[in-house]
Chains A and B, each alone.
Chain A
Amino acid sequence: MSGPMLKVENLFCERDDRVLFEGLGFSVDAGEIVQIEGANGSGKTTLLRILSGLSRNYEGEIYWRGEPIDDVRDQFCRELLYFGHQPGVKALLTPEENLRWYCALHPSLDASRVSEALEQVGLRGFEDVPCHSLSAGQHRRVSLSRLYLSDAPLWILDEPFTAIDKRGVAAKEALIGRHIARGGSVILTTHQDLQGSSAVRSINLDQQGGT
């Protein structure tokens, strides 16, 4: 299994008559963190949505382990963990119920470790509290606890640290570090500087955009 996990060639995306990126090409190897940088509105979220397969509004080629991504969509979904702009947490369900459903949805999540994961993100004691009475940060923590359950090799994280306190961020960075050490890859956007991880490569979208 040599070669990059994810390879992007000549990616072009236009939104509302504005070119977000053009001729964008990069690859993500196992054990690598790729940080997508750029000003607000530069297309970071759009790029992550394209990479994860949610958005089809692009031109160019994306390869997963050497194969065109559309041919290996099932395999790709199995090996992907996507943390989106919206946390995907149901306000009327408790954190535990939310996670149980995700475990049914995604085979790479380990249902037997749900309570352990909730403890890791500091939600112990909140298992039975409906999420609408949790704070914004706790809300996102519920969704982030999927990272503790997942053994998917590729993580795509869109602003994972928003509304998370300093200690939480440190814990998540450590978690990302462990994931990298296991041979996983992470593509993420964040406005914070990642600390303590050496293998971070940045891709700046500001230089990509045309007019």
Chain B
Amino acid sequence: MADLLTNAAAEQAQIGPGGLFMATLRRDLMLSLRRKSELVNPLIFFLMVITLFPLGVSPEPGFLAQLAPGALWVAALLATLLSMDGLFRTDFDDGSLEQLLLSPQPLFIVVLAKVLAHWMLSGLALTLVAPVIAVMLFLPAEGMPGLMLSLLIGTPTLSLVGAIGAALTVGLKRGGVLISLLVLPLYIPVLIFGTSAVQAAVTGLPLGGYLALLGALLALGLALAPLAIGAALRISVSG
């Protein structure tokens, strides 16, 4: 028993930024997993758009294959955008956000953990189902690595940038439309380089350059977005 207590005390002493990151990540994942309907929302949206696309346009394989890179990326982008609004909403409503802002721990860490948790259940999940759904649009097999890689590097940027919009609008009753307006212009570079990467992969061109650009955007987002999100949250809560 005495051992147990000292262990607990040692553990307590070690809760630093790293511990907070893991604790927040685990908490947010746990929260999402207990709310299954919201969890599958982005995936269902993604699937629906891609299923309806051939019905609305043309079921001809050659034509669809040509549209596939753009359609897949646009659907993934919108699916991410739709899920963005809820990122800080529940925390704001139940007062957890106030507690979070009053923590002496760096806000950067908590925000990064929350965005990572969000991405794992939206962007990462989309990336994993994308190849299966891409087959429905007759995307050639050569395009698959490009699709997976570009989504893997591109969607975290979408989550980071979207979180800035979510943080700015969390204090408003209906922030959904405003987020889209704020964030969509910033999504466009990611969309352009993402689709280009898939197209390059389909035509057999090297896609290193596009992925490098997506990587650069991600690096920029990782370094700057958490600061912007933190500042935006402070403004929203202060208002």
Which residues does A use to contact B, with CB under 8 Å? 52-57, 74, 77-78, 80, 82, 84-93, 97, 100-107, 110-112, 130
A82 adjacent to B98 (CB under 8 Å): yes
- Total contacting residues, chain B, CB less than 8 A: 33
B98 adjacent to A101 (CB under 8 Å): no
| Complex contacts, A104 vs chain B, CB 8 Å | 15, 19-20, 23-24
> Is chain B's interface secondary structure helix, strand, loop, or mixed overall?
helix
Q: A74-B104, A80-B102, A88-B96 are in contact. Are A101 and B23 (CB under 8 A)?
A: yes
A interface footprint on B219-239 (CB within 8 Å = 1, 0 otherwise): 000000000000000100111
| Complex contacts, B110 vs chain A, CB 8 Å | 105
A103 adjacent to B15 (CB under 8 Å): yes
Within the assembled complex, what's the spacing in Å between the Cα atoms of A4 and B228? 35
Chain A nearest Cβ from B63, distance in angstroms: 45
> With an 8 A cutoff between CB atoms, is B174 at the interface?
no
The total number of A-B Cβ pairs within 8 Å is 93
B99 adjacent to A90 (CB under 8 Å): no
Within the assembled complex, what's the spacing in Å between the Cα atoms of A54 and B93? 15
B8 adjacent to A88 (CB under 8 Å): no
> With an 8 A cutoff between CB atoms, is B30 at the interface?
yes
B12 adjacent to A92 (CB under 8 Å): no
B98 adjacent to A54 (CB under 8 Å): yes
B93 adjacent to A86 (CB under 8 Å): yes
> Which residue of the partner chain, among A74, A92, A93, A105, contacts B99 with CB atoms under 8 Å?
A105
B238 adjacent to A84 (CB under 8 Å): no
B95 adjacent to A84 (CB under 8 Å): yes
Chain B nearest Cβ from A103, distance in angstroms: 7
> Which residue of the partner chain, among B24, B27, B238, contacts A57 with CB atoms under 8 Å?
B238
> With an 8 A cutoff between CB atoms, is B31 at the interface?
yes
Chain B nearest Cβ from A95, distance in angstroms: 14
Residue of A nearest to B10 (CB): A112
B19 adjacent to A54 (CB under 8 Å): no
Residue of A nearest to B9 (CB): A112
A53 adjacent to B8 (CB under 8 Å): no
Within the assembled complex, what's the spacing in Å between the Cα atoms of A74 and B107? 11
> With an 8 A cutoff between CB atoms, is B11 at the interface?
yes
Chain A nearest Cβ from B98, distance in angstroms: 5
Chain B nearest Cβ from A59, distance in angstroms: 14
Q: A104-B24, A105-B20, A106-B103 are in contact. Are A92 and B34 (CB under 8 A)?
A: yes
Residue of B nearest to A74 (CB): B104
Within the assembled complex, what's the spacing in Å between the Cα atoms of A78 and B15? 14
Within the assembled complex, what's the spacing in Å between the Cα atoms of A53 and B95? 15
> Which residue of the partner chain, among A88, A107, A112, contacts B104 with CB atoms under 8 Å?
A107
